[in-house]
Chains A and B, each alone.
Chain A
Amino acid sequence: MTLRVTSPQFKENARRALADRQLQKALGNVEQNFIEKRRQVAAKLPEFDLLRDAARDLKDHTLAHLDLYLEAYERRVTAAGGQVHWAVTAEEACGVVLDICQRLGARLVTKGKSMISEEIGLNDFLLSHDIAAVETDLGEYIIQLRHEPPSHIIAPAVHLNKEQIEADFRRVHTGFPAERNLEEPTSLLAEARSVLREKFLAADVGITGANFLVAETGTSIIVTNEGNGDLTQTLPKAHIVLASVDKMVPTLEDVSLFLRLLARSATGQEMSVYTTFSTGPRRAGDPDGPGEYHVVILDNGRSAMLGGEFREMLRCIRCGACMNHCPVYHAVGGHAYGWVYPGPMGAVLTPSLVGIDKAGHLPNASMFCGRCEEVCPVRIPLPKLMRHWREREFERHLSPAAMRWGLGLWAAFARRPRLYRFATRIAMKMLSLLSLGFGRFRWLPFARGWTKYRNFPAPEGVTFQAAWKRREKKA
């Protein structure tokens, strides 16, 4: 039921993305907007880097005692009148949600933004059981109209422009006058709002994700900018929270640490517009709130990461800073990565969740420029973790044969300095002669990936080591 994985076709996806001029223009906005805003807001907070250290340490502590915190969290949720459901797989999580919806006779479900929902393919699953799930985050709503997956974890429709969205609205919102003016982004927003208002009031169940689950209080927290999450979770009969095990935070005090980092790293805001805390269902005397409160806690391969070298990935708070700063993401966009999570964090997480045999391209398609690690609010060493995936691939002989052969041959020379010096001296001499004095090659048979797009400089002809020896002899 989960989203089809097109990560094995990463190269074709990337080629298509590079040729898509509209997409390239939209990606230019990511590069310009997010980076500068984050830089400014981080510069205004002198302790920003210390907060990152503290957040890293706190996540490490929580992950080391995750079992205890999860159990404490469940006790608190139960005490507040809610219910925790444990789901090992995506299918189990979907099943839990379906059971609740069917028990309540739900036909319409509203949804706040949730990457876990994307991960488990919930919308399609519910639809196959005649339950309509409507996304209420504007970006998610737009891509749902287009039957597309998100291209960014916090800005799901960042790959689109205003004109595309206007065309979608005209296609789907048939109840509005055809001659209406939708040129301004605010008019698009107003139209979406009026459509969604009806859905909020009619929905039987509201589903949100969670940015944090607080063990101390049994609270789930969402961080949003549109207010749609609040309407989603307070108006229907039941509120279902979808979260993965790694969302756990020990105390409310700890949450304040992460809140200071999250919006700054994500959108460059000091705080998001809404930070909503939910603890249990509506209590006696509450003016509003859901009658039932459920939390579905998904594992889906994460506990297996706990004991291994990818554990640090579980610190991720899904801010998107890594993709906002990634030159590869800027070049190809989120859809090229072929599953739910794009960019550097996706390059580490996706192989863990769908398998390195399918997602092998993702950790390889990186220059290891290190910009992602430089901005990660919880200091995940993303290039190191991508390298670990390459090691797993190499061990399992999954890397391309040509690469293995080339690398093996090169390593054999590199480990024999005398042979290496002899062979390279001859090879560089030959290559230099072959350049016919032009100083460069426009085409080389063994480096076509290079010469397809660039010239290759001709070697001087004498290796440094040989030339140095000559100089030493003269002296």
Chain B
Amino acid sequence: MAAATGSRPRVGLFVTCLVDLIRPRIGFAAAKLLEDAGCLVEVPSQTCCGQPAFNSGDRASARAIAEQVIAAFEPYDYVVAPSGSCAGMIRVHYPELFAGDPDWTPRVEAFCRRVHELMSFLVDVIEVERVDVIFDGTVTYHDSCAGLRELGVKTQPRKLLTSVGNLSLAEMKDPDVCCGFGGTFCVKYADISNAIVEKKVVNVVATGAPTLLAGDLGCLMNMAGKLQRMGKTVAVRHVAEVLAGMAQEPAIGEPAKAKRP
């Protein structure tokens, strides 16, 4: 592990493949939050955490990708991902991939302890109490499954959101119930996934909040795509965008200018 620069922890930002490809501004929001919290942020070369392979039963590919991730991110004090799903894959499931391998196990375990989801890293590790930004409006927050159940992310984003000036939080019914995304599930079982996301967005709309936030881009794309298809005007964003004061950019699936399909 590289020594921290002065008292500033060196954080390797695992941006996640979806953020890298679809919505880089979440990555910049995460970097800003980490830098504001006193971290030195670096972005080593990366692709994906390997979860699609792992959850499709292809352990060999998942393991090869995991080895690559570990090698790239091992030099950092901490590894932070703006996603409970990817952070959970690394922190909780990588040890399973290397179970019974004495050459790797100690290395993997030491590594995984330093991997965190963004919200829980800010609040639980760096002990950020508040963010100094303003957001005019009401938001509702969806708890993504892996963050919630694998990593215990529940109070942390809410704590930071309530510190945002002018923001009010309206809880939806069943915020902890899955949105129906589930990675490849949403295309393999599209009909079932659709029924589940429909229920979710009904709960979102019922809050009357014009903005929906969550901590995982997969869930956000699923809910945003459904809301738009149903003709709802709820703006959907990653929670980091609001906390970093970057919510003036177009929301997920919204055009850059005032163009509408």
Contacts and interface: CB of A to CB of B under 8 A. Distances in A.
A85 interface: no
Interface string B49-65: 01011111111010011
B125 interface: no
A437 interface: yes
A1 interface: no
Given A439-B255, A452-B190, A453-B229, A366 B24 contact: no
A369 interface: yes
Contacts of A428: 21-22
B20 A370 contact: no
Contact of B65 (A368, A414, A421): A414
B225 A450 contact: yes
Given A331-B196, A364-B188, A369-B145, A455 B15 contact: no
A366 B185 contact: yes
A275 to B, nearest CB: 32
A403 interface: yes
B47 A414 contact: yes
B57 A392 contact: yes
Contacts of A18: 191-192, 195
B44 to A, nearest CB: 9
A391 B59 contact: yes
Interface in B59-106: 59, 61, 64-65, 68, 96
A327 B261 contact: no
Interface in A14-33: 14-15, 18
Interface in B222-258: 222, 224-226, 228-229, 250, 252-257
B202 to A, nearest CB: 12
Nearest to B25: A460
Determine the main DSSP class of A at the interface with B: helix
Interface in B7-62: 15, 17, 19-25, 27-28, 31, 43, 45-48, 50, 52-59, 61
Contact of A390 (B55, B65, B194): B55
Given A328-B192, A458-B253, A465-B20, A414 B149 contact: no
B188 A450 contact: no
Nearest to B188: A364
Classify the secondary structure of B's interface with A: helix
Contacts of B139: none
A462 B15 CA distance: 14
Q: Which of A369, A417, A453, A454 has the most CB of B within 10 A?
A: A454
Interface in A408-447: 408, 410-411, 413-415, 417-418, 420-421, 424, 427-428, 437-440, 442, 447
Interface stretch (A75-83, A184-192, A393-401): A393-401
Interface in B95-121: 96
Given A390-B56, A457-B22, A457-B225, A464 B184 contact: no
B157 interface: no
Contact of A438 (B48, B180, B252, B261): B261
Interface residues of B, number: 73
B22 A460 contact: yes
Contact of B250 (A389, A439, A442, A464): A439
Given A455-B228, A465-B20, A465-B46, A367 B65 contact: no
Contact of B192 (A14, A408, A417, A457): A14
Given A390-B56, A440-B228, A368 B24 contact: no
Given A328-B192, A417-B45, A411 B259 contact: no
Given A393-B57, A417-B46, A465-B46, A440 B261 contact: yes
A131 interface: no
B68 A415 contact: yes
B197 A467 contact: no
Interface string A325-346: 0011001100000000000000
Contact of B182 (A11, A368, A373, A408): A368
Nearest to B68: A415
B188 A449 contact: yes
Contact of B221 (A374, A392, A437, A456): A456
Contacts of A407: 52-53, 56, 58, 61
A88 interface: no
B149 A371 contact: yes
Contact of B253 (A399, A449, A455): A455
Contacts of B19: 464
Interface string B187-227: 11111111111010000000000000000000001101110
B221 to A, nearest CB: 6
A463 interface: yes
A277 interface: no
B141 interface: no
Nearest to A463: B20
B19 to A, nearest CB: 6
B225 A440 contact: yes
Contacts of A100: none
A365 interface: yes
A371 B261 contact: no
Sorted from nearest, which 6 A-B pairs have the closest CB atoms? A367-B182, A454-B225, A449-B187, A394-B57, A390-B57, A464-B24
16 contacts: A328-B189, A364-B188, A368-B185, A369-B149, A390-B55, A393-B57, A410-B52, A414-B53, A437-B257, A438-B255, A452-B190, A453-B193, A459-B22, A464-B21, A465-B43, A468-B24
Interface of A: 11, 14-15, 18, 327-328, 331-332, 364-371, 373-374, 384, 387, 389-395, 399, 403, 407-408, 410-411, 413-415, 417-418, 420-421, 424, 427-428, 437-440, 442, 447, 449-450, 452-460, 462-465, 467-468
Given A369-B149, A399-B56, A439-B259, 10 more contacts: A331-B196, A332-B195, A367-B185, A368-B55, A415-B61, A437-B259, A439-B250, A455-B228, A457-B221, A463-B20
